A and B are shown apart, each in its own frame.
Chain A
Amino acid sequence: MESFGWIWLVAALLVILAELDSTAAFQTMLGQPVVIGTLTGSLFGNWQAGLAAGIMLQLFWIDHLPLGGRIPPHLGIGGFTAALVASAVSSNLFPYTGWPLLYGILWGAATAFLGGYLTRILRNINDRLMPIVDLAVEECDTKKLSRFIWLGILNHSVLAIVAGWIPARIAVSLWPLITRIPVVFQKAESHLPIELFVAVGALSLARLHVTRSRTLIFAAPLFFVLLFLILQSINLEGS
């Protein structure tokens, strides 16, 4: 991966977009890992790795809802970092194997937690701005009041850079060191079991939507697949 300045510049814009979209502005789906991951992967020349990282993180903590000021792991930043790291390093040494993905996902999760932690700090900082807001209200200074909103957007942008972009740069520059670990060389062709992450995601989704009355709907596909696998293994034994 040739780290051209403009690519990192666009990456900075993407992580800001992901962060703003998550809570501060509009809450569309742009900041979701599958979307931002694929975009980031495309930027770094490997959209498949970006998408895979997005799929792995998307549903992983979906049962942790951001209700009443609660702050779950920051999926926008996590998805961005995971996708960037996975796609940027995957063409470096072992193209499209499990190691870059596993490495990216580790960084993605770390930055998701960092993003959540920094969001909490940012909100406490916002609390300290309230006396100044009250002063602006007292003065009926509507321009100043508008500036507070843009200050909030700016703060979130800085948070995105600190929690997502900088760790991603560090992770990419550390990758050559990781590849010197002998086991990484020996298991160069290893396949990452993405299914484990998807399965946890499916169970997280099930925790939200499966009630006693919907158990059958949830279990029916599992039943048919298990039946299929059993029949397949019987056929194999028979032949």
Chain B
Amino acid sequence: MKHMENVLPDIPPRGIVWKLGWRSGLLQALFSPGRMQGVGFGWAVLPVILRWSRGEEDMKQRLFRHFTFFNANPYLGSIVMGSVARMEAEGQGDAVPGVKQRFSTITGALGDRLFWAHLRPMLLGLAVLLLATIPQDEIRVSIILFSLLFLFGMVNWSFRFAGVLYGWRYGYITPLRMARWPLQKFVNPMATVGALVSGLLLSSTFLVSDSNIPIPVHPSLGLLLIILVAFGKKLSPVLRFVVVWIIALLTMLYL
């Protein structure tokens, strides 16, 4: 294995960050149960393969390495790309499959908790709370929705582009570095805000401002039914919707 670690700078060549960063957004464009994000990943690192391949046979080997099974959290995929790009540039391609496998586990553990389970629900909950409780006019609604897009966009795109730099900087030791991320420090405050938002949102449903509705009969009755029926035991998504829709219909017809 050829090591050129000292030769490569800590910043990737011009254009690589941009190309890998935006291509990481299409990681799931051809998602399949067999290879998961494999094709998306292979396509995303094509600029790297084209840049550092030496001859057709070498290129074929590199392509085969990357168009295989791959699964990672889509928001952290760019870190894997940056790391793999450095390994390909250093001629450590043979170690790539093992490192990618390690990345699958670590990005799944970190990214799923950070993005899917905490950041996105928390921001959406906050947006719904504001939209459902403040008086609605075009300007307020636009500001709330724009802030939602802006805040999440900042995090999303920062991870996508800075992820390439991070992965490139640490190369094949990136999974080890990521394992030491203080995830709990970020996740705990988000979960606390999420819990507070869900409490506020639930309590806001008791305070119906419309004077035509017999307060608090309909909200409390509805809530009681929902709590008993929908959350007494785990319901399928279909059944959950059907139950609530029917309660809403009955409330409309008889209250």
Contacts and interface: CB of A to CB of B under 8 A. Distances in A.
Interface of A: 23-30, 32, 34-35, 38, 47-48, 51, 55, 58-62, 64-69, 72-73, 98-99, 102, 105-106, 109, 113, 123-124, 126-127, 129-130, 133-134, 137-138, 140, 142, 145-146, 148-149, 151-153, 156, 183, 187, 190-203, 205-211, 214, 217-222, 224-226, 228-229
Interface stretch (B2-10, B88-96, B172-180, B188-196): B188-196
B213 interface: yes
Main SS at interface, chain B:
helix
Contact of A226 (B31, B60, B206, B231): B206
Nearest to B120: A29
16 contacts: A29-B123, A34-B124, A34-B127, A35-B148, A68-B71, A69-B36, A102-B252, A126-B30, A149-B43, A152-B31, A196-B223, A198-B132, A198-B204, A208-B118, A211-B191, A219-B199
Contact of B244 (A129, A197, A218): A197
Contacts of B153: 28-29
B24 to A, nearest CB: 9
A91 B212 CA distance: 21
Given A58-B127, A145-B39, A225-B203, 14 more contacts: A32-B124, A34-B148, A58-B124, A62-B121, A66-B116, A69-B33, A130-B39, A152-B26, A198-B132, A200-B226, A202-B201, A217-B192, A222-B199, A226-B203
A106 B237 CA distance: 13
A64 B204 CA distance: 23
Interface stretch (B11-19, B79-87, B214-222): B214-222
Given A27-B74, A38-B141, A48-B136, A149 B251 contact: no
Contact of A203 (B60, B131, B148, B231): B231
B199 A138 contact: no
Contacts of B216: 229
Contacts, number: 283
A26 B127 CA distance: 20
Nearest to A64: B237
A221 B39 contact: no
A198 B199 contact: no
Given A27-B74, A47-B141, A210-B198, A197 B116 contact: no
Interface string B95-118: 000000000000010001000111
B183 interface: no
B238 to A, nearest CB: 6
Contact of A199 (B191, B200, B202, B253): B202
Interface residues of B, number: 92
B251 A193 contact: yes
Main SS at interface, chain A:
helix
Given A27-B75, A48-B136, A226-B206, A217 B199 contact: yes
Contacts of A146: 43, 46
Nearest to B202: A202
Given A25-B25, A34-B128, A196-B251, A191 B212 contact: yes
A133 B203 contact: no
Nearest to A120: B33
A162 B33 CA distance: 22
Nearest to B225: A196
Contacts of B156: 26-28
Nearest to B40: A149
Interface in B223-254: 223, 226-227, 230-231, 237-238, 240-241, 244-245, 247-249, 251-253
Given A199-B202, A220-B199, A129 B32 contact: yes
B182 interface: no
Contact of B198 (A55, A99, A205): A205
Contact of B222 (A183, A195, A202): A195
B39 A25 contact: no
Contacts of B238: 113
Nearest to A147: B43
A199 B223 contact: yes
Contact of B252 (A145, A156, A190, A218): A190
A20 to B, nearest CB: 9
